[in-house]
Chains A and B, each alone.
Chain A
Amino acid sequence: MSRSDILERYVRIARAAGTHVEFIAADDLPGRLAPILRELTESCNPAPIDNPAPRLAALPASGWPQGLRESVETILAASGYETIMPRKAPDGYDWERDRLAEASIGITWCAEFLADTGSLVLPAGPGMGTLAALLPEVHLALSYAEGCRADLADYLRERGTGLPSRLTLVTGPSRTGDIEATMTKGVHGPGKVLHFILDGVHPETLHADG
């Protein structure tokens, strides 16, 4: 399977699982992120009952490509959002739990994602702050197209047996069918998962080198 086929497969399967996938040029990030943040502040449905201070975004401290975290922070600040990250502590990193729980959006870098299941891969590690992708109502993951792997088997093969303390696969929003088998989103984790694949690398443009 060519690279572009794999990427197309990811998009199809991730969308079917309920992830909002979009290809955007890195330059367009402010233009695309700002309306999402605006909508988040204005949205009353569902009411942010567990977010008394909704203008707060959670970000991991580490794992980002050069300069991207800073760009995201700038966009957040311009939209009136404060940022919370794992703090540097003497022997590693530390979360301010109480504040973290108030964040309404978590924005994380996602180095790798899996086509076959439409999954984002979130490894734990110092400063990797995976709680940013769990506690808030909305999770936005940012990736490059090159991060797409065929499937979990491929990813694990590449990694070998050196696994992180926690490796989480995220496929669509948190959901339950426990009341009358009615599918409902956002039980414990995010009810909304967005995935922006940066650099304007579309499957079509990748066909040439496939």
Chain B
Amino acid sequence: MNDRHNNFRKASVSAVADEVLGAAVRKTAELFVSMRAASIAEFAGFEDLRDWGRSRKLEVSGRLEEFALEFANRVEAAGAIVHFAHDAAEAADIAAGIAVKQGACTAVKSKSMTAEEISLNEVMMQAGVTVTETDLGEYIIQLAGEKPSHIIAPAIHKDRNQVAQLFHRFLGTAPGLDVDSLVRAARKTLRDRFLAAEIGITGANFAVAETGTLVLVTNEGNGRMTTTLPPVQIAIMGIDKIIPKISDLPGFLTLLTRSATGQTISSYVTIITGPRKPGEEEGPEVLHVVLLDNGRSPLARGPFREILHCLHCGACLNHCPVYRAVGGHAYESVYTGPMGDVLSPLLWGMKAYPDLPDACTLCGRCAEACPVRIPLPEYHRKLRILRAEGQTPWTAGASGAIGANPLLYRANLGLLRQILAHHKWLLNGRTGGALEAWTTCRELPRPKAGPGFRAWWGDRERGRL
């Protein structure tokens, strides 16, 4: 994980040039934005619900380790096996170890960002376990060997023709299928995988401390299949997924689904409390819950605490002008868009993601859309400050010195007026000048004719005007 080095500036240039990607991302983001807006317009009290959601999450992040322990105790009382993982590698090893111990070689997986965070599929594969993604979008990009481009619509960057080609190649379907037939083909293939799988891998959208309950939200039904058919379930969740009480669930479900897709509720909500009970004919006989810290408990004590409140709804991505222009790939992280700009450098270090705090215009739309009011623009600013600490560039030092000395300042201003009026080429990037980064896509202003502001002001003060 430490060998990452994201060059967002460079990656975003090629992403913006990709017109298929751009059109798909914009279409999906706009659709989600309008569906969310319509859904919230018909729901009185959504603003109050956002305040409530934030206050409940503040309670959890304020005592994160306590809540994690309470949840773990309840999950165990419900009959599940709990594992604590300090970091990503440990979590993946635990999951792979469970599979190896069971002698399992096939697993089905319901979409999980936490599993992506710990690179679970790669580790499972090394342990000899084939993991099949069962969310249609995730399945498509797994076949293509690509990464998700959107947190809840991972394959939006592929059009139907590209998906038809993939299915033709890997599933042997006829070439050029329409969307309906592609979905049917995926249903048939994945149905067999579900029925044969020895292990079901899931994440959790919510985890209820009071009852030891895991909650999964899906529209396709893969979450239900993964938690009902295989004999063993492994749920991998960050400890930030905890909510205090079962009575908190309805409010958080509303915040999540209305913000994500504008749905009143998702097609399916699966509320899991322990494995199959004696006498039951379905559900996993063994339920493992892997509680992942991976830097979350120190985050809860620091100045970026509220990033742990994130519900992964994707609303900040859909509303972000930068995300909409570049799509998810350029972020080179599981977490993209505004929440990713903040979370990726915090989880993997500023050195790994040096550009992401700049992938933001500070327009504030993300903060307006966030269902739990995470102050994302403020966090971007704070990260820029953190990054700049101890590395003041010489230009900033020089301009500070000039600004502190009135004589020097006046002289410098006069010089700058002369350059801008008569020798712009000295600064212009296109003529090899000094301000290349700034002038590539901007025109330097030419000062207006006349005496200039300071001279005019001086005359005015002396009563000549």
User: A-side interface residues toward B, CB under 8 Å?
Assistant: 13, 16-17, 46-47, 49-50, 86, 89, 91-95, 97, 101, 116-119, 124-131, 134, 151-153, 156-157, 161, 163-182, 184, 186-190
Minimum C-beta distance from A185 to chain B (A): 8
Residues B137 and A178 in contact, CB atoms below 8 Å apart: yes
Chain A residues within an 8 Å CB radius of B195: 97, 101
The answer to whether B444 has its CB under 8 Å from any CB of chain A is: no
The answer for the CA separation of A177 and B187 in the assembled complex, in Å, is 14
Which chain B residue lies CB-closest to A134?
Answer: B224
Asked whether B279 lies within 8 Å of A91 as measured between CB atoms, the reply is yes
Known contacts A180-B27, A180-B160, A187-B187; 14 further A-B pairs (Cβ under 8 A): A46-B184, A92-B278, A92-B279, A92-B280, A117-B265, A124-B282, A127-B281, A152-B250, A161-B246, A169-B271, A174-B219, A178-B156, A180-B24, A188-B222
Q: Is the CB of A188 within 8 A of B247?
A: no
Q: Which 3 A-B pairs have the closest CB atoms?
A: A92-B279, A189-B221, A126-B279
- A151 CB to closest chain B CB (Å) equals 6
Q: Are A181 and B153 in contact (CB under 8 A)?
A: yes
Q: Is the interface of A mostly helix, strand, loop or mixed?
A: loop
Do residues B279 and A124 form an inter-chain contact, with CB atoms below 8 A?
A: no
Cβ B247 vs Cβ A157 within 8 A? yes
Would you call B249 an interface residue if the criterion is a C-beta within 8 Å of the partner chain's C-beta atoms? yes
Asked if A118 contacts B264 (CB within 8 A), the reply is yes
- Chain A residues with CB under 8 Å of B136's CB are 176, 178-179, 187
| Chain A positions within 8 Å of B267 at CB level | 17, 170-175, 189
Chain A nearest CB: distance from B286 CB in Å?
A: 12
Q: Are A188 and B190 in contact (CB under 8 A)?
A: yes
Asked if A181 and B27 sit within 8 Å, CB to CB, the answer is yes
- Across the interface, do A161 and B210 meet the contact criterion of CB distance under 8 Å? yes
Interface residues of B in 105-163 (CB under 8 A from A): 134-137, 140, 153-156, 158-160, 163
Q: Chain B interface mostly helix, strand, loop or mixed?
A: mixed
Identify B191's interface contact among A13, A86, A101, CB under 8 A: A101
CB neighbours of B104 from chain A (8 A): none
Residue from the list A95, A166, A177 in contact with B270, Cβ < 8 A: A166
Closest to A123 in B: B271
B163 with A179: CB separation less than 8 A:
yes
CB distance from A188 to the nearest CB of B (A): 4
B221 to chain A: closest residue by CB: A189
- B264 cross-chain contacts in A, Cβ below 8 A: 13, 16-17, 116-118, 171
Instruction: Supply 11 A–B pairs (Cβ within 8 Å), ascending by A.
Output: A156-B250, A157-B247, A163-B273, A164-B273, A167-B270, A176-B136, A176-B220, A179-B140, A180-B24, A182-B179, A184-B179
User: Who on chain A is nearest to B229 by CB?
Assistant: A131
On chain B, the residues within 8 Å of A179 by CB distance are: 136, 140, 155, 158, 160, 163, 179, 182-183
> Which chain A positions have C-beta within 8 A of B279?
91-93, 126-127
The reply to whether A189 and B188 contact each other, CB–CB distance below 8 Å, is no
Determine whether the beta carbon of B220 is less than 8 Å from that of A163. Answer: no
User: When A166-B228, A168-B271 are in contact, do A129 and B282 touch as well, CB less than 8 Å?
Assistant: yes
Q: Are B183 and A189 in contact (CB under 8 A)?
A: no
Assembly CA distance A166 to B272 (angstroms): 5
Using Cβ atoms and an 8 Å threshold, which residues of chain B touch A129?
A: 281-282
Cβ–Cβ contact B281 & A163, under 8 A = no
Q: Which residues of B contact A164 (CB under 8 A)?
A: 273, 277
> In the bound complex, what is the Cα–Cα distance between A134 and B220 (angstroms)?
11
